[in-house]
Amino acid sequence: MNPLIREWIEKAEGDFTTTRRELRARGSPNYDAACFHAQQVAEKYLKAVLLDHGQNIPKTHQLIDLLALCIGIDGSYELVYADLAVLDGYAVRFRYPGQSADKSEAKGAYRSAKAVRAFMRSKLGLE
């Protein structure tokens, strides 16, 4: 596997670990961070897939835009649309004052990230 693709995957896995750790934290869990890192899992896996198919990676955090590029490669990527729609706004939604995630929202983000991760890993021949 191309070393740059491997690096995107390693970064995504780090975000996945961080999401899970924040949900399990007994003292002061950061649900905002859990949602952000869940979004990052999906974003980085989408970008790894694009690279794997020789595509340029656009400078965007919009998961649905990245998904559209993946669907252009293989229509089966449409299967993760619903989970990506859950995660799409989390790149910025809770990063600044005014809104905060709760435990339920963070759990939902984790579930969506987990589903996207599993699908992308299978597409990349990792599991």
pLDDT digits (tens, 9 = 90+) for 111-127: 999 999 999 999 999 97
- Mean pLDDT for 64-69 is 98
Query: What token pair was written down for 95?
Result: 């990063």
What is the percentage of the chain residues whose pLDDT exceeds 70?
100
pLDDT band at 12 (very low <50, low <70, confident <90, very high): very high
Model pLDDT, residue 127 = 75
Distance of alpha carbon 123 from alpha carbon 105, whole angstroms: 27
Predicted TM-score (pTM) of this structure: 0.96
> C-alpha angle 122/39/109, rounded to 5°?
90
Single-letter amino acid code for the residue at 122: S
Query: What token pair was written down for 99?
Result: 């809104």
Distance of alpha carbon 29 from alpha carbon 32, whole angstroms: 9
- Mean pLDDT for 79-90 is 97
Model pLDDT, residue 1 = 85
Q: How far is CA 33 from the centre of its chain?
A: 13
pLDDT band at 95 (very low <50, low <70, confident <90, very high): confident
The enclosing domain of 11 has a CATH number of: 1.20.120.330
Number of domains in the chain: 1
- Could you list the residue range(s) of the whole structural domain that residue 32 is in? 3-123
- Mean pLDDT for 81-91 is 96
